[in-house]
Amino acid sequence: MTRLPILQERALDFQRLLDTSDYKETYRAEMILWGEEKRSADPGYFCRLIVEGVTQPVWIISDARRRSDVDWFLAAYGDVLQNVRVTASQETRRCRGWVYTPEVDDAESECGLDTGVTFDWIIANDGDETSLDEQLHRLKAFILSRLTLLV
């Protein structure tokens, strides 16, 4: 998603924004505000940006954060859409370096899908690699079975 205008406007380093560094946290609130302004003007802005000019049989949207995102994809791909949620406890997240930040971590961008959305798959990612592998294997098998129906 390196096509986001804010990266060019602010000369942000995309790779450094992908980790849990202080660099990301420095710009996180500003990026959330920028995103909210875009969504207020056009709720489907980011969804369209993701799929623009690309065709493929399977889409994995790894960062849908709001009900409007889910609604857009349901409208566009509802007949084949599967909602997958990856969860981790707050303790696990803290062990991975996460620190709760008020007005950021309780914003819609972080918890907008905590209620009101039905997920077809819930993947628990609390550090048990065997369990995670089993869950991902079942999801992969499901995806592959659906692909064979498309061919």
CATH number at 130 reads 3.40.50.300
| pLDDT confidence tier of residue 82, bands split at 50, 70 and 90 | confident
What gap in Å lies between CA 113 and CA 130, rounded to an integer? 27
pLDDT of residue 104 exceeding 70: yes
Both tokens of residue 112? 């907008």
- 124 beta partners: 87
| The model's pTM | 0.69
Total structural domains within the chain: 1
Q: What percent of the chain has pLDDT over 90?
A: 28
Identify the pLDDT of residue 84: 92
Both tokens of residue 54? 């690309």
Mean pLDDT calculated for residue range 128-150: 90
| pLDDT confidence tier of residue 151, bands split at 50, 70 and 90 | low
pLDDT of residue 1 exceeding 70: no
Residue 118 belongs to what domain range?
Answer: 5-150
